[in-house]
Amino acid sequence: MVSGGVRGTLPWMAPELLNGSSNLVSEKVDVFSFGIVMWELLTGEEPYANMHYGAIIGGIVNNTLRPPVPSWCDPAWKSLMERCWSANPAERPSFLEVSADLRAMASTKAQGQTSPITGGEAAK
Query: Which has the closest alpha carbon to 66: 7, 14, 124, 3?
Result: 14
- The pLDDT assigned to 2 comes to 39
- Residue 121 domain-assigned? no
Alpha-carbon span 43 to 30, nearest angstrom: 20
Query: Using one digit for the tens of pLDDT, what is the confidence trace for 26-74?
Result: 999 999 999 999 999 999 999 999 999 999 999 999 989 999 999 999 9
- Residue 5 domain-assigned? no
Query: Which band of pLDDT confidence, cut at 50, 70 and 90, is reported for residue 3?
Result: very low
- The pLDDT assigned to 10 comes to 84
Strands (E), 1-124: none
- Residue 92 domain-assigned? yes
Res. 124: pLDDT tops 60: no
Res. 1: pLDDT tops 80: no
- Residue 50 domain-assigned? yes
- The pLDDT assigned to 122 comes to 44
- Residue 118 domain-assigned? no
- Residue 62 domain-assigned? yes
- The pLDDT assigned to 67 comes to 96
Query: Using one digit for the tens of pLDDT, what is the confidence trace for 65-119?
Result: 999 999 999 999 999 999 999 999 999 999 999 999 999 999 987 777 655 555 5
Domain that holds residue 68: 10-110
Helix axes 75-84, 95-110, angle to 10 degrees: 170
Supply the DSSP string of 51-82, one letter for each residue: S-HHHHHHHHHTT---PPPPTTS-HHHHHHHH
Total domains present in the chain: 1
- Residue 115 domain-assigned? no
Write the CATH number for 24: 1.10.510.10
**Comparing 82 with 20, which gets the higher pLDDT?**
82
